[in-house]
Amino acid sequence: EPEVTQTPSHQVTQMGQEVILRCVPISNHLYFYWYRQILGQKVEFLVSFYNNEISEKSEIFDDQFSVERPDGSNFTLKIRSTKLEDSAMYFCASGRQAMGTEAFFGQGTRLTVV
Amino acid sequence: RKEVEQDPGPFNVPEGATVAFNCTYSNSASQSFFWYRQDCRKEPKLLMSVYSSGNEDGRFTAQLNRASQYISLLIRDSKLSDSATYLCVVNWGNFNKFYFGSGTKLNVKP
């Protein structure tokens, strides 16, 4: 069964450093997303991406964040200068269509900023 | 008002019990509804989509009430493996910006 894969599973970084979280969405999916979940809190939307551009982003997704689809398979989330409050589980998701269909989530990258 | 609200639980039930969760959503323009389950420190996994007419998948039944803006999940004959957090997920807008509830924790005891 096809699945979304994310690397690394756990990333520890020092405050102020840049991190790149990587995702390989399901191959025939066209819509890609990043969500995050701070420990003990709910899953929050960060950004959606379609046709090589951001289609929607939340207020969390400020200038420190960027996304890219550098080739036909990878989808990355970059945080330029990490803060302590960026520590969370980051989930990549993909979907076949935008309207009304489910999204499938990767296993997540646990980011710890120290 | 939160976009999606759920009773956090926990619901502690014995094996074989029937348990029901409700979820309310704030946006009457909501278009799609889902239940996901999340095991501790794992990713959300799709349990089922929720259709206007209601739908069933084995021991799981989902209902949607658009007039009252709530959805429900019924689990019959609970198994130990059903222990998880159940996430109510609602989407509106064009690009699958999912709104997650905080989840309802279920503990099924032997």
- The burial class, CB within 10 Å (0-12 / 13-18 / 19+), for A32 is buried
Please give the mean pLDDT across all residues of chain A: 94
Q: Which residues of B touch A45 (CB under 8 A)?
A: 97-99
Q: How far is A11 from chain B (nearest CA, A)?
A: 15
Q: How far is B80 from chain A (nearest CA, A)?
A: 22
- A15-68: pLDDT as tens digits: 999 999 999 999 989 999 999 999 999 999 999 999 899 999 999 999 999 999
Q: Which of A31, A41, A42 lies nearest to residue B96, judging by beta carbons?
A: A31
**Cβ distance A56 to B92 under 8 Å?**
no
Q: Which of A43, A44, A102 lies nearest to residue B34, judging by beta carbons?
A: A102
Return the percentage of chain A with pLDDT > 70, whole number. Answer: 97
Chain centroid offset of residue B88 CA: 4
Chain centroid offset of residue B6 CA: 8
DSSP conformational letter for A43:
E
A→B interface, C-beta within 8 Å: 31, 33, 35, 41-45, 48, 50, 55-56, 58, 89, 91, 95, 98-108, 110
Q: How far is A48 from chain B (nearest CA, A)?
A: 7
Highest mean pLDDT among A87-91, A98-102, B47-51, B93-97: A87-91
Residue A91 to residue B43, Cβ atoms within 8 A = yes
Phi, psi of B59 (to 5 degrees): -85, 0
Cα separations in angstroms, B79 against A104, B46, B57, B87: 24, 18, 15, 18
- A26-35: pLDDT as tens digits: 998 999 999 9
Structure tokens at B19: 């348990």
pLDDT for the residue B84: 98
**Cβ distance A113 to A39 under 8 Å?**
no
Q: How far is B100 from chain A (nearest CA, A)?
A: 6
pLDDT for the residue B109: 97
- The burial class, CB within 10 Å (0-12 / 13-18 / 19+), for B89 is buried
Chain A touched by B101 (CB under 8 Å): yes
Residue A41 to residue B93, Cβ atoms within 8 A = no
Nearest-by-CA chain A residue for B42 = A107
Please give the mean pLDDT across all residues of chain B: 93
pLDDT for the residue B96: 67
pLDDT for the residue A2: 81
**Cβ distance A11 to A114 under 8 Å?**
no
- B27-64: pLDDT as tens digits: 888 889 999 999 998 999 999 999 888 899 999 999 99
CB contact set of A53 (below 8 Å; sequence gap of 6+): none
pLDDT for the residue A24: 97
Tell me the average pLDDT across A79-84.
97
In chain B the beta strands, taken as DSSP E runs, fall at 4-6, 11-14, 19-25, 32-38, 45-50, 55-57, 60-65, 70-75, 84-92, 97-100, 104-109
pLDDT for the residue A101: 81
pLDDT band at A89 (very low <50, low <70, confident <90, very high): very high
pLDDT of residue B2 exceeding 90? no
pLDDT for the residue B51: 86
